[in-house]
A and B are shown apart, each in its own frame.
Chain A
Amino acid sequence: MSKVTLQRRPLVKKILEGADDNLLVIAGLGSANWDVTEAGDRPLNMPLWGSMGAPVPMGLGLALAQPKKRVLVITGDGDMLMSLSSLATVAALQPDNLAIVVLDNEKFGETGNQATATAPRNNGPTDSGAGTDLAMIAKGCGIADSGTVREVSEVAQLVKDARTTKGPVFRLVKVMVEKLEFVMPPQDGAHLKDRFRQALGIKPT
């Protein structure tokens, strides 16, 4: 396997560059949240501080409620591993406005970089995973447009796929293990939810 060279922060920045009111973003807890926030906190981002396993079903419910908007879920391998079967639910509904980008560093970043199942097997006593291929799982669940990105040369296409390619789209992006600073959005969930709905023009109850 080729050496992993992609860095998550510049990559997420490229994916979100020029985000307008058409782009609704759900970011999974931990690193994906900080990555999306570093690219620029905005009302139409819903960055999670908890609720591991929630981003994909949350993106699905949102995509169905807002069929004219693009919904982009950005999360990590640990989070995705916790809700694998939600990919089958996405496949059953085939929302054409939903893209899922999983940043896979093969680690549980928030708890001290322990190996996830996506890490290779036989990787030593403390760093071995299961060699789990999330893109293959997404495809197996019925998301036909599912693939893996490893090279810098593939990033421009990844941006297109995340932003405009007919969904459902699933992209697994192999990214480096890095120690990065926390870039935190507001934490108040009610505030994050309310500013999101307000930006969509939804009136309060």
Chain B
Amino acid sequence: MNVELKSAEWKDQIFDVFQDHDIKQVFHVPDAGHSRLIELCQKSNSIRTLALTTEEEGIPLAAGAWLGGQRSVLLMQSSGVGNTINLMGMPKTLRFPFLTLITMRGDYGEFNSWQYPMGQATPKVLEAMGVLVYSVDKPEEVKATVDAAARSAFNGGQSVAVLLRQKLLGIKNFGKK
């Protein structure tokens, strides 16, 4: 019960950070880890949410939004990070701020072996593309970390990824003990 409350709390806090930083477009794929945050964004009057067919679309969408004067965030799972790597060069080449929040799989206590290769490679491939990688595994540190990432992105002009670690999200087990 307490864990559930905490989980709702930090997800709401991420939404507050989005509002504080004047985020106007949020791109996402369906994701259990991000679902509450996505719903908050969908219900918001100030944020436009877009459901993507592949995570890769999120980078040029962010480029287009920035060209038009709007800040955006890409929400994805670690399993989708590989789909974005080529176009992750765009924020470097065009020099625009880019922020993504990544829910981790293939991480702490993962039961599904298929999630490990991309999950374990996620920080490395992001760093290889020049993305700053922030990591958070404690509920009480989520808000400050996402806020810092947004500052590094939108004030500092960087590409920044926040990894929401599996320790924070809870271990998915499909009902198995």
Contacts and interface: CB of A to CB of B under 8 A. Distances in A.
B67 interface: yes
A85 B67 contact: no
Interface residues of B, number: 35
Interface stretch (A57-65, A124-132, A168-176): A57-65
Interface of A: 24, 26, 46, 50-51, 53-66, 69, 83, 85-86, 88-89, 92-93, 189-190, 192-193, 196-197, 200, 202, 205
A53 B87 contact: yes
A200 B54 contact: no
Interface in B34-62: 48, 50-54, 56-62
A58 B64 contact: yes
* Chain A at the B interface: SS class: helix
Given A86-B57, A92-B50, A64 B69 contact: no
A146 B43 CA distance: 31
Given A189-B94, A190-B94, A200-B69, A61 B53 contact: no
7 contacts: A24-B67, A54-B60, A61-B64, A62-B67, A65-B24, A85-B53, A190-B94
A53 B65 contact: no
B93 interface: yes
Contacts of B65: 61-62, 64-65
Given A64-B50, A88-B53, 14 more contacts: A24-B68, A50-B89, A51-B90, A51-B93, A58-B63, A60-B50, A62-B65, A64-B64, A64-B70, A65-B25, A65-B64, A65-B67, A86-B57, A193-B63
